[in-house]
Amino acid sequence: MLHFQTHFININMSIFSCATCGKTLSSEGHLARHEKTHTEQKDFTCGRCNISFTTAEERRLHSKEHSGKKEFHCEQCGKGFFIHSSLKVHLKTHGEKSFHCSECDKYFSTKGNLVVHKRIHTGERPYKCPHCEKSFNHGSHLKKHVRVHTNERPYQCSECGKTYTDSSSLKSHQSIHSGEKPFQCKHCDKRFRHKSFLICHERIHTGEKPYLCSYCGKSFSSPVYIGLHKRVHTGEKPYHCSVCGKSFSKFDTLQKHKRIHTGERPFKCSQCDKTFARSDILKVHQRVHTGEKPYSCSICGERFAYLGIHLKTHSEKSFHCSECDKYLSTKQSLLAHKRIHTGERPYKCPHCEKSFNHGSNLKTHVRVHTNERPYQCSECGKTFRQLFSLKSHQSVHSDEKPFQCKHCDKRFRQRSNLNRHEQIHTGEKPYHCSVCGKSFSKVDTLQKHKRSHWQIHSVFHCWTGFF
């Protein structure tokens, strides 16, 4: 009898099949409701947040999220749910995982989860965005994506007022206020605020990278990473700055960019009261106080508080300066270098008339006006305006000279001193006088030389005053 019932259900399921995505439903009514997810016909709107739904029942269940009350709890792990059907689906995660993926040997607790998972391997993305060309392998991902176009952020944090496009992002954010990290990695001691973060992290240990890029074949451990990576190929930049019109491939990059316009620097150092626009820059800055250098260069063995920039010094220098034939390792380095030739100095001091060709030089200069000297030597207490000045000074105490000339046996405490010295051997003179064309190996020598033109010009004007 049980076999007959199962067979009858399977026959029924095959009859009510969605023409858009191939999903099979148990009744004509369920199929009609499901098909509305593709057509975006949503007649039932929530009175509190204006989100629309395809059925009145979906709207009723959604309204429970506003109350924050989870009436249905799992007896095995204590997890709470707004609706009973979600609890029923969750209970299967504790039971036997009998649905097997033949592609990667993974097992799932429900057939629905297996069907969704298989789309990772097949690349099937049946849920199409009505606003752009994007498509998704899961309906919930489409729902979240559409809010990028509508700018709808219905989930608000009661602590700080920050808004989100989906409830899971809000929940993840709220744990920042509570400090709670309930999900622990079974391979190490790391804990996470969100289960999805844990799953992505555990793939570091297992080496699993199930998400394959259809453009270049590169594989990724997270759907977020592959989504961001694909924008390299498509050039898609869906996030636009309303102030200057600049576009970005990531929402958080747009948020960081906006702080340039607003001047907002919400991240404050507890040691020296300095403020930063980004939390990662604050983290790197704090290593100035702690002296922490967690990153070791595998090529030269030097240790750094931040390794990214240094590694580029070892990589191939493929960015060519057409003025002096020099090669640089990054496009940014080339742009900054070219200002030597053009004389462009876009960074202006707010306290005096001076301007600079690099933002870091302006930052150092401003400290002359503010008398700020944030870098202190732990040996003698001497303070400095720049980190590299402190490092150079500290080598006086250690007598260390780590930078050796490749042309002779001379050694230097500072890389910049080595670079200047090596120009003696190479004969390189990259700094040119725009008045007479004379070249110099050092920028300060060029500046002194330029003053001689100014003095001659002044004397000439002085003499012409007598005639």
pLDDT tens, residue by residue, 328-385: 877 778 888 888 888 888 888 888 888 888 888 888 888 888 888 878 887 888 888 8
Please indicate whether residue 380 or residue 444 has the higher confidence score (pLDDT): 380
Q: How many CB atoms lie within 10 A of CB 206?
A: 9
* C-alpha radius of gyration, the chain, whole number: 31
Structure confidence at residue 20 (pLDDT): 64
* Cβ-proximal residues to 103 (8 Å cutoff; 6+ apart), any chain: 118, 121
Q: What does residue 238 show for φ and ψ, rounded to 5 degrees? A: -80, -10
pLDDT tens, residue by residue, 283-295: 888 887 888 888 7
pLDDT tens, residue by residue, 250-299: 888 888 888 877 778 888 888 887 888 788 888 888 887 888 888 778 77
Query: 65 falls in which pLDDT band (50, 70, 90)?
Result: low
Range ranked top by mean pLDDT from 128-142, 158-172, 447-461: 128-142
Query: 242 falls in which pLDDT band (50, 70, 90)?
Result: confident
39 within 8 A of 45, measured Cβ to Cβ: no
Structure confidence at residue 7 (pLDDT): 40
Structure confidence at residue 172 (pLDDT): 74
Structure confidence at residue 315 (pLDDT): 66
Q: Is the pLDDT of residue 162 over 50?
A: yes
Which tokens hold the place of 248?
Answer: 């970005």
Structure confidence at residue 6 (pLDDT): 40
Q: Is the pLDDT of residue 454 over 70?
A: no
* Beta-carbon-side half-sphere exposure of residue 100 (alpha carbons within 13 Å): 3
* Mean pLDDT rounded to a whole number for the chain: 78
pLDDT tens, residue by residue, 90-129: 776 776 777 888 888 788 877 888 888 888 888 888 888 8
Average pLDDT over residues 134-143: 83
pLDDT tens, residue by residue, 69-98: 677 788 777 777 777 777 777 776 776 777
pLDDT tens, residue by residue, 175-217: 777 777 888 898 888 888 778 788 888 888 888 888 888 888 8
Q: Is the pLDDT of residue 132 over 80?
A: yes
Structure confidence at residue 457 (pLDDT): 53
* Beta-carbon-side half-sphere exposure of residue 381 (alpha carbons within 13 Å): 0
* Domains of the chain and any CATH numbers: 267-314 (3.30.160.60), 319-453 (3.30.160.60)
